[in-house]
Amino acid sequence: MPNAAACERARLTRDRRFDGLFFTAVTSTGIYCRPVCPAPAPRRDNVRYYPSAAAAAAAGFRPCLRCRPEAAPGSPLHRARSELVAGALRLIEQGALDAGSLPQLARRVGVGERHLRRVFAEEIGASPLDVAATRRLLFAKQLVGETALPMTEVAQAAGYASLRRFNAAFSAAYGKAPREIRRSRDALANGGSGEWTLRLPYRAPYDFAQLAAFYARRAIPGVEAVDATAYRRSFVADGVPGWFAVEPLPGEQALALRVHHPRSGVLGPLAARVKRMFDVDADPRAIAMVFRRSPVLAPLIRRWPGQRLPGAWDGFELAVRAVLGQQVSVAAARTLAARVAAQYGTPYADGAAAGVGVLFPTPERLADAPLETLGITRARAQTIRTLAAAVHDGRIAFRPEQPLAEFERDWVALPGIGAWTAHYVAMRALAQPDAFPAADLILRRAAGQGRTLTTRELEALGESWRPWRAYAVMLLWRAS
């Protein structure tokens, strides 16, 4: 969180760079706001600053109806200082505390409940339960304001156990029933026939064109479709196929997520995954503060200030794509991935018109597949089969709470998987901001500025880039 003086300046000037980095609570009204709130600025002695919406809510303040905290970019995840808190936050974003308990969450991240509460208080300013409750409330408010979903479906999509609990929480927070909030014609027009559009706000700058170009070079035909203005892909949620599209909203610091799926209950988990995939919660200012101290990265971050991590929708799909890309060009790996999808994927007729009429094959489908017939070398075909079997039987997983070192250890134990592949998968599938495939030849050349560094030399150089080494990887790849 910025210091009090910076918060005060940002509040008085309504500086959008700080939107979502802290929240302003007003003791005279009992309301908390974004620093860009258009309401008249309150007196300084009535203002309190909090690092997250959850912290402000835990202190007894209600969200502002005017500046809409649910529309703020960023989340506590990007400000976690430890892998423990980051892993727990990823689980909370996936709904771990909607149906599960705090002791269960603590066990999943490998600590006691008391210790988890303590580190959350230190890093986030709120308890895990407070974070989960605020996430549910703000997402429900977004669905009420932006869609025509029935309130029962809003409650389900936001993670509430019942409509009664949703109504009680909403009324307590906003002083009004949900139906009194929904007055927008746009909202009433959004949500028919299994199609919804949600805003995903980000903190500028955001280089969507570069992100789209990265995806376009690696898109699996039939599964993904990318052009200069949008990304589309097929997916399966709750055992039912669907497809979504992501594109910038003109004139706004936000992306539009357009979802085509028959079940509205998937919106919460899907939006969380897409936000990670498109890295909308990143804080470019914090990343730039670290990189400006590096002679290697300073000119790159000035040239491309809106760099984001290109995440992945599905970890297994990305891992197969990474194995196919070992020691071959990006284009060659894309061709092989297209053959795998066409041969072993599942046709999806409803997505065909959008160019995403194929569902990528599941681990079960590839565990015994004779991939050599598709032109894949015997060694890589066997690696993919081993990988598919390990994912299928649970020996390896894409659990969001696992530390980077643990993920790397489990992956390099598989035949044909090295540290480069493990870190590349962690960087994109788990959105690990500090993943660092230091053995990469292009990275070692780009960072050496005239000579090729050894892997050990690059690792030593990269220590000063923590905890954002994955962003350094993207900048160096882009520069080369």
What separation in angstroms does the CA of 101 have from each of 98, 119, 128, 169, 389? 8, 17, 10, 18, 31
> How far, rounded to the nearest angstrom, does the alpha carbon of residue 424 sit from its chain's CA centroid?
16
- In the three-class reduction of DSSP (H, G, I as helix; E, B as strand; rest coil), residue 199 is classed as strand
Burial of 371 from C-beta contacts in 10 A (0-12 / 13-18 / 19+): buried
Q: Which residues pair with 246 in a beta bridge?
A: 231, 257
Neighbours of 165 (CB within 10 A): 12
d(CA 306, CA 243): 27
Nearest to residue 477, comparing CAs of 431, 441, 450, 452? 441
14: nearest Cα among 46, 31, 38, 33: 38
Per the annotation, the verdict on 37 as an active-site residue is no
> Choosing from 33, 37, 64, 67, which is the catalytic residue?
33
Please say if 283 is a catalytic residue: no
Question: Is residue 243 within 8 Å of residue 351, measured between CB atoms?
Answer: yes
- Determine contact, residues 324/317, Cβ cutoff 8 Å: no
Asked if the peptide bond before residue 73 counts as cis, ω within 30 degrees of 0, the response is no
d(CA 447, CA 449): 6
With vertex at residue 145, the alpha carbon angle to CA 350 and CA 50, rounded to the nearest 5 degrees, is: 120
CA distances from 149 to 158, 165, 195, 242, 275 (A): 12, 17, 10, 18, 21
Task: Name the 3-class secondary structure at 296.
Answer: coil
Location of structure tokens 């220590």: 463
Q: Which of 19, 279, 314, 440 is catalytic?
A: 440
Strands 31-33 and 254-260: unpaired
Point out the residues that are catalytic.
33, 440
